[in-house]
């Protein structure tokens, strides 16, 4: 076998050691890791506007720092993009402009004038998406008639009804329920500075088309007609009161303490505004803790500040544990063990969350993405945590202390398999695609259907735990992954950008399930990764690859995280000796920085395709370490097969 030369071994080992030491220094005292999770201008802008909506006393220093952040990320096109170097986005730009004006920026300042010109050139603020128009309506900037009707009575409908909350994704549910109250009551922001953005509207220009690009003409026409009916219906006062009370009860039941409703910013902010419109005083325990959950998302630095969409401690800690165990370093293994001990009590064992509506007979056993989100654990985190604990119990890190946690986690993952053999992120069979055609769903992300990346992780978990290849559930998962592979050999990535992430995820799971390197599916996936490698030896892919008219890979600058995914995908496909892998390893060695880690400005995390993307600040740190350590292990060992499901 083609082993590493002594010089190559020393170089790779040095890179591994430097990265390991750096990551060990970032472990929190209680054993976990959590890295910044950055989105676009939308969330920090909304945070500023929330403070003034509620007429709170603003923290002027914090506002100043958020202003610095917003100005820095403004694009060369004059507006604000959804990701680094992305195209102009009218909704993000309207919110950023509004927030900066609220902070005190002069509207004639060059950056404001440029943004205003670009907004008006596109028809004005009224052309923004539904969520932005709701914010504008809350501030009295547009009529509620320009907002699709979502009556609070929706929460009272029986589960068999075609439009029902349980048929939507968890994130849609938690955002919509408090929003139902806001849209029914139609409150007006207190706005003590009396800031408005009339200059962003073009006289005579109507709202954006009710039909978004992803929506079909027939369904869109049907729901548009239904919206007109709903706007004209005189809702009985008694029924409305019952519906609003049910929205309040539903929200309060899932409030989730200081981690917030759904543990995501939009739901948290909506819950605060819901309590406000219902007359809850700021010091009321429910409103106060909901408001505190928003504050917990802030990242405040010396000169800048921004608000995160959520936090990722479970995800970060589990992935770091995998990377550290791959190093086979004694200190790294000890740190990974501390991380797993931190994770263990976060397993949700006593709450049957919303997922149980579809799978009532499955016992709880998952992990959430955030510190706490008991109603909404997810399959991806759970599979990754289970595989990390399984690795630990088969090493000197642990004996039997993880057995029960692994078993409960595996039962939960297996129980939430969808009928097509795949897995969604939070629910089973959340595939009511017609709902993406309702006017409110102009973002196209109302659902949580099975996806290739999550399914690859779940298949890998089952295989790593020793589930036999002929097990019906494992076989169905493998068949699903084979079926959804694209003609070019790649797989779509829902939660990471994009086909590189999906292809790594699928290849890792399929390798775990026993598919050999010469299997056509594995060969096609590996060939695609080799084909798209950049001349510098790395791999890169743009968020624009989620566009509806995607026709194939388009070159993009190399990033550390995407290079690591491609390398681990090739290694899972049995190609550790391929020259492309050596080139990729050389790219990582060449781009490693003085602190032992890597950085990247480009976003490689998926939120909602075409609408919302994420910059996981930890991804360029621990994924390259993982890839380097795996490369060294395979090249120095007697087997070229990756023995884990991830």
- How far apart CA 622 and CA 124 sit, in angstroms, is 43
258 contacts: CB under 8 Å, gap ≥ 6:
289, 292, 293, 296
* Whether the Cβ atoms of residue 460 and residue 391 lie closer than 8 Å to each other: no
What is the helix (H) or strand (E) element at residue 607, kind and residue range? strand 605-608
Tell me the pairing of strands 605-608 and 612-616: antiparallel
Closest CA to 573 of 626, 540, 527, 534: 527
Q: In the numeric block, which tokens belong to residue 118?
A: 């670009």
Per-residue DSSP letters for 284-298?
Answer: SHHHHHHHHHHHTTE
**Torsion angle, CA of 168/296/405/352, rounded to 10 degrees?**
-40
Which 3 state secondary structure label does DSSP give 430? strand
354 catalytic residue (yes or no): no
Task: From the candidates 40, 227, 378, 380, give the one annotated as an active-site residue.
Answer: 380
586 by Cβ neighbours in 10 Å (0-12 / 13-18 / 19+) ranks as: middle
Enter the DSSP assignment of 354. Answer: G
Partnered with residue 605 across adjacent β-strands are 496, 614
- How far apart CA 90 and CA 78 sit, in angstroms, is 11
Token match 């440029």: residue? 114
* Whether the Cβ atoms of residue 312 and residue 370 lie closer than 8 Å to each other: yes
Length of the chain: 646
E strand spans, 303-349? 305-307
State the chain's maximal CA–CA distance in angstroms. 80
SS (H, E, C) 443-482: CCCCCECCEHHHHHHHHHHHHHCCCCCCCHHHHHHHHHHH
Q: Which positions are annotated as active-site residues?
A: 380
């Amino acid at each position: 076998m083609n082993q590493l030369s002594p010089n190559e071994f020393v170089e790779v080992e040095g890179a591994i050691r430097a990265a390991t030491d750096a990551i060990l220094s970032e472990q929190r005292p209680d054993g976990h890791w959590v890295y910044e999770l950055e989105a676009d201008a939308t969330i920090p802008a909304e945070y500023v506007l929330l403070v003034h909506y509620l007429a709170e006393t603003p923290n002027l220093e914090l506002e100043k720092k958020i202003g610095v952040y917003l100005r820095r990320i403004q694009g060369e096109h004059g507006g604000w993009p959804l990701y680094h170097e992305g195209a102009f986005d009218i909704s993000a730009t309207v919110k950023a402009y509004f927030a900066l004006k609220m902070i005190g920026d002069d509207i004639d300042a060059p950056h404001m004038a440029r943004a205003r010109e670009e907004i008006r050139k596109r028809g004005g603020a009224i052309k923004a998406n539904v969520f932005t128009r709701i914010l504008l309506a809350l501030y009295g900037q547009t009529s509620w008639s320009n907002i699709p009707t979502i009556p609070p009575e929706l929460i009272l409908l029986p589960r068999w009804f075609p439009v029902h909350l349980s048929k939507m994704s968890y994130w849609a549910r938690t955002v919509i329920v408090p929003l139902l109250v806001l849209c029914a009551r139609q409150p007006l922001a207190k706005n003590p500075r009396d800031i408005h953005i009339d200059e962003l509207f073009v006289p005579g220009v109507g709202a954006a088309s009710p039909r978004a690009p992803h929506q079909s003409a027939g369904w869109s026409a049907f729901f548009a007609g239904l919206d007109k009916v709903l706007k004209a219906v005189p809702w009985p006062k008694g029924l409305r009161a019952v519906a609003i009370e049910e929205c309040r009860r539903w929200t309060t039941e899932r409030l989730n303490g200081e981690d917030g409703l759904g543990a995501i910013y939009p739901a948290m902010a909506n819950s605060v505004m819901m309590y406000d419109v219902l007359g809850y005083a700021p010091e009321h325990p429910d409103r106060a803790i909901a408001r505190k959950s928003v504050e917990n998302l802030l990242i405040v630095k010396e000169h800048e500040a921004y608000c995160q969409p959520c936090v990722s401690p479970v995800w970060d800690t589990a992935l770091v544990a995998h990377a550290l165990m791959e190093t086979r370093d004694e200190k790294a293994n000890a740190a990974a063990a501390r991380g797993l001990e931190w994770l263990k009590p976060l397993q949700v064992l006593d709450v049957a969350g919303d997922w149980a509506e579809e799978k009532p007979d499955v016992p709880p056993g998952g992990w959430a993405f955030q510190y706490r989100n008991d109603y909404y654990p997810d399959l991806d985190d759970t599979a990754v945590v289970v595989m990390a604990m399984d690795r630990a119990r088969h090493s000197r890190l642990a004996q039997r202390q993880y057995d029960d946690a692994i078993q409960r986690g595996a039962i939960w993952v297996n129980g939430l398999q969808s009928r097509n053999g795949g897995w969604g992120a939070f629910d089973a069979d959340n595939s009511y695609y017609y709902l993406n055609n309702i006017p409110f769903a102009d973002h196209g992300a109302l659902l949580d259907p099975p996806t290739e990346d999550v399914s690859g992780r779940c298949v890998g978990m089952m295989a790593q735990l020793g589930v036999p290849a002929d097990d019906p559930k494992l076989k169905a998962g493998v068949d699903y992954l084979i079926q959804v592979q694209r003609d070019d050999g790649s797989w779509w990535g829902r939660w990471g950008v994009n086909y590189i992430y999906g292809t790594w995820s699928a290849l890792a799971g399929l390798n775990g399930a026993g598919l050999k390197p010469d299997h056509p599916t594995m060969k096609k996936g590996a060939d695609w990764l080799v084909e798209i490698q950049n001349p510098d030896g790395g791999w890169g892919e743009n968020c624009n690859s989620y566009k509806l008219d995607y026709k194939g890979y388009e070159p993009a600058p190399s990033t550390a995280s995407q290079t690591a995914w491609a390398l681990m995908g090739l290694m899972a496909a049995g190609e550790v000796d391929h020259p492309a892998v050596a080139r990729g390893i050389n790219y990582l060695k060449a781009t490693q920085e003085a602190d032992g880690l890597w950085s990247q400005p480009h976003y490689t995390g998926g939120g909602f395709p075409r609408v919302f993307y994420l910059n996981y600040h930890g991804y360029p740190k621990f994924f390259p370490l993982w890839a380097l350590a795996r490369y060294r292990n395979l090249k120095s060992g007697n087997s070229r097969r990756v023995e884990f499901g991830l």
